[in-house]
Amino acid sequence: MKKLLTVVVPTYQTERFIRNCLTSLLQSKWAERTEILVIDDGSFDQSGCIAEEYAKQYPQIVQVIHKENGGHGSTINVGVHLASGKYFRVVDSDDSVNPLAYEAYLKKLEQIDCDLVVTPFLCVQARGGEQILQEREVEGSNTLLKEVVLPFRTVAEKLHIRIQEWTIRTKILKEQAITLSEHSFYVDMQWILFPIPWIETVCILPELVYRYRLGEASQSVSIQSMQRQKEQHRAILRSLIVFYQEREASGERTEVLQYLARGIAKMEANQVQITLSLPIGRKAKQELIWIEQELKETCFAAYQANEKKSLHWLRNSTYWLYPFAALAWRVKKREKIGKKKEK
């Protein structure tokens, strides 16, 4: 029986969470229509051994691939190479799926035929039990038809799709040899932008499939991690700019270029946030100006696509407002921490 969905589970040092992840993926009656590829990225805890237990119990569904450490991008690259399902998605081993929503989603995958399937997701608190913090709707989808296959060109201007929402036709990944950077964090943006030029159709489903775990300082999305790895973040941003330049030179469709530009603008805005979080001073201000100038010179469309009012103010002040923006960032950060403690 041909597999409907390949689920790649990148795994590194997640022995505390991987059982929950794999169990959630296997509870559906439709689990046999899926293949679960656990890519163990050189873990030295029990993650790989736990995954092997599931492979023995579900040999027709679960495969475990052990490899040397190469980063999140390398695990997805291996998964794309091995995938046999019609569709492809990634579920990190410290996250999980909502079993009931996942089953409904699989049933609908069987019925539709399109390049990209998009589903909203849940944010859950990492500590003190899995408390649901927020339901995250697909950004820009509130006015769009659900459960209907739509031409991507008609919705590209409205949508911004995140990795937790993303299910793609495997054939696109293989035929276009989509490859992510290895030994690097922040490849998520490559994963959700590199295939875009080959997306012709999209379907938005209402099921809250993915459960995204938040709340640990070790996560790559925490500001402490982003400060330490800011050069990797910048390298991924530059790879996206190069990709945009290549697609522009090839005569790419306008709606695709606009979508790519907005994605690059969002990542550059994150780079600005990292810089604002650094110790306030001349060095950080100069770094901010360099980041902005580089984007303006290499991808003006992305520079113009910025939607952050605070960044517009900085630019209009020729960065004179930098110290105030850095202070405002700190105040906002403290307020967020205070709200979390209240909960």
Give residue-wise pLDDT tens across range 223-279: 677 788 889 999 999 999 999 999 999 999 999 999 999 999 999 999 999 999 999
Each residue of 169-184: pLDDT tens digit? 999 999 999 999 999 9
Q: Is 130's pLDDT higher than 80?
A: no
Identify the sign of the CA torsion 127, 129, 133, 137. Answer: positive
Distance, in Å, from the CA atom of 105 to the CA atom of 204, rounded to the nearest integer, reads 11
Cβ-based neighbours of 268, under 8 Å, separated by 6 or more? 237, 291, 295, 302, 303, 306
Q: Tell me: domain 5-214, CATH 3.20.20.80, correct?
A: no
Distance, in Å, from the CA atom of 278 to the CA atom of 322, rounded to the nearest integer, reads 12
Report residue 332 as tokens.
Answer: 């906002």
Which stretch of DSSP H or E encloses residue 167?
A: strand 166-169
**Residue 224: per-residue pLDDT:** 75
pLDDT band at 215 (very low <50, low <70, confident <90, very high): low
**Residue 134: per-residue pLDDT:** 87
Give, as one character, the DSSP assignment of residue 83: -
Give, as one character, the DSSP assignment of residue 115: S
Average pLDDT on 194-210 reads 97
For the ranges 147-151, 200-204, 326-330, which has the lowest average pLDDT? 326-330
Report residue 113 as tokens.
Answer: 């035929």
DSSP-derived secondary structure for 251-299? T--HHHHHHHHHHHHHHHHHHHHHHHHSPSSHHHHHHHHHHHHHHHHH-
Average pLDDT on 83-96 reads 97
Give, as one character, the DSSP assignment of residue 107: H
Helices (H), 186-253: 188-193, 223-228, 230-249
